[in-house]
Amino acid sequence: MTLYLASGSPRRAELLQQIAVPFTVLKAPDIDETPRPGEAPQAYVERMAREKSCAGERLRAAEGLPFGVVLGADTSVVFEDTILGKPQSRAHALEMLAMLSGNQHQVISALALTTGQECRIACSITQVQFRELTCEQMARYVDTGEGNDKAGGYGIQGLGAALVASLTGSYSGVVGLPLEQTVLLLEQAGLDYWCID
């Protein structure tokens, strides 16, 4: 059975390649990612993953691609129950880094695996502790541009690794695809990994 990845994220594709899962990338689903009023962060992330997976399944069917399993994922950075999205400007990026500096935040990553009418959900919550950062360090990092397209304004897999003091949970979940939960969902769907030629 074919695995489809409903995501335009190169990081998610790299993580699937890391565990040698054969997959086909679908066009990133175009969905409204606005949180609903009063929606809890975990509920929001799980809803986004589900909507991306279901949108991917509709796209697969519309394009006449072979039946398969569609993986959708979403990741949010959460500080004091507030979802920190992607920075809208340089000032916004600096504001988010200032909030995170010296503090702990959560990174919530949800997965949704859709097979026909069935959709399975898994979620990973990782505690991330930032170093105490100076204004100069924050400005230098923002000016690299690395965090421009990332929730919370940083990427742990790149230059942003220097911002992090420690984490408890899933490193791959912070990158965008928690592999432990991914493998469990793949196993439940009867899909293989470690597919080395």
CA dihedral 194, 49, 174, 145 (to 10 degrees): 110
CA angle centred on 163, ends 157 and 167, rounded to 5° = 70
Task: Please say whether the beta carbons of 166 and 119 come within 8 A.
Answer: no
Biggest distance spanned by C-alpha atoms of the chain: 53
For 117-156, the pLDDT digits (tens) are 899 999 999 999 999 999 999 999 999 999 999 999 999 9
* C-alpha 106, offset from chain centre: 13
Residues of the chain with pLDDT below 50 are none
What is residue 64's DSSP assignment? T
User: What are the extents of the domains in the chain?
Assistant: 2-188
CATH domain 2-188 topology: Maf protein (3.90.950)
Among this protein's residues, is 192 annotated catalytic?
A: no
Check: CB of residue 4 under 8 Å from CB of residue 189: no
Those residues whose C-beta lies under 8 Å from the C-beta of residue 158, and which sit 6 or more positions away, are 146
Active-site hit among 32, 74, 81, 197: 74
Tokens encoding 101: 């500096």
